[in-house]
Amino acid sequence: MKRVVVMAEAGGPTEAALGALSAAGFEAQSATSAEAARGLIEAGAIAVVLVGKEVSPADAATAFSTLAPALRRGLVLTLIGGNLTTGDGVRAFLLNADLVVGPGELARLGDLLAGALAQKRALVAGLDPAAASRLGG
């Protein structure tokens, strides 16, 4: 089963995100800090979902910017926030994320993440077979 870490700010829709991921077949675990999430990533989690009311570039850039490049290639970073539009590639790039999701799309989170994992696996397969394998390929 694919393990996913969910981090949410207080009052965020953590339960909705965990439920949507579990329904899609992911083993979803919550983490209360970036350090806890990093430990779960190093132990094999393949995606991190950050949930907040608003997502700023500084928050996203600092949370996982020090991951080893090989580990980051084998990880899908997903951001959910009230100021995000699902699938906005420019915003994802600016936030150093693989996928951005608007809060109205939480019910589809599992499907969206599964698609992002497949796309990233295909992208990194030729560059880093170990990262592709980590993503399920």
pLDDT for position 37 = 87
Length of the chain: 137
DSSP, res 32: S
Which amino acid, 134?
A: R
Q: What span, in angstroms and rounded, lies between the C-alpha atoms of 23 and 67?
A: 29
Structural domains of the chain, with CATH: 3-134 (3.40.50.2300)
Provide the pLDDT for residue 114.
95
pTM of the entire predicted model? 0.90
pLDDT in tens, 9-46: 766 677 888 889 999 999 998 888 888 888 999 999 99
